[in-house]
Structure 1
Amino acid sequence: MEIFRDANKETGFLNGQFLLAMPGMEDSRFARSVIYVCAHSEKGAMGLIINRVQDMEFADILVQLGVLDEQQAIMMPERTRDFLVRNGGPVEVRRGFVLHSDDYLTDSTMPVAEEICLTGTVDILRAISGGRGPRKALMTLGYSGWASGQLENEIANNGWLTCQAPHEMLFDTDIDSKYDRILAYMGVDPSRLASVAGHA
């Protein structure tokens, strides 16, 4: 997470953008993944996969952390109970991160891009469970990280497509179609993309 703190002192050109894995992606952990870049600088990059769902449910996490007991978790409003927990990446897989709109701020909240922040403390989970959380939010366990120059090399080697990240596509819960919808938003034909990636 030092990458995140350092990178956001000087906003990198990929901050707040989507990365879409190209069809030729060699690392199966990232196949057809959509990653939201939270931090990017000369020291490296950090992002969250937003189109993979964890088996663990939000209520289970709240109970494990002692935010709620099992009875309170059962009584949560349906909207909160159905809050998706996503698989953010292979780094620190037991640690939670909440990407959210900037209407919720604490001392531990870090700005990511215009109107988007990241909070990694239990306080925001408590706020969400009590209906006092941000207007828009998504939660992941784990994150994706790159060393200095690594992400730039992967992009140059045809590993990733990049594009702006509309808020509605970032926060919506239609996980299964997200990759294809973002390609369509970019005006990319998946069949042509596959043929280009085959020559990488």
Structure 2
Amino acid sequence: MFFILFTVLSFATSLLFELVEQFAGVRDFIVDFDLAAEIKLDGVKPFRMSGLLVVRNLEDFYFLVKKPDFVSNLSFAYFSRIKRLVFGAESFQDFENLEIPISSIVQAIQSALRMLQTPLVSVRSEGDYVILTFSRFVAQQLQEPIKVRLEMKDAQLRSIEILSPSEEEKIILKINNLILNAKTDEYFQLRR
């Protein structure tokens, strides 16, 4: 019995390790994704969107909304060195000087990854999913305890699901395409 339990835990941990290993040192990447959310607020309110996120050197960010149609082709590019947000659509472009604390965002992501290595999070595997549940201590810090499921196929992250305990409320980020160490400069060329 102990051997089976150890094997299951080792498998889940190795999948998580492979995931962290893939992202280690990556500073440029492109993610094409679909986001779906079902949140209870006077009934269940579904929300759906598709987009493209491009990150250059973990400093500059480009975000393109693909769906819903009424805001499709709306794009945002943030240039951290000059602290400028450029936004617009096909026929319109504007900018605003804006300081976004990028280092705080990167530190938060690094802290989340470090937390996965502590006993504050339990990790188990169910088929193609790695399930992360938080210890009682962490759950008490949250307004509502959550469960995180990472779908892995062929050592690639396919989706991230954040679920309420009852799984009635959820946020699902489906990764359609993920390119690590991508060539990203073309996304940061401004119209003249």
* TM range, smaller chain: under 0.3
Higher strand proportion (structure 1 or 2): 2
Higher helix proportion (structure 1 or 2): 1
Ranked by relative contact order (alpha carbons within 8 Å, sequence separation 6 or more), the top structure is 1
Q: With the length of structure 1 as denominator, give the TM-score of the two structures.
A: 0.26
* Larger of the two Rg values belongs to structure: 2
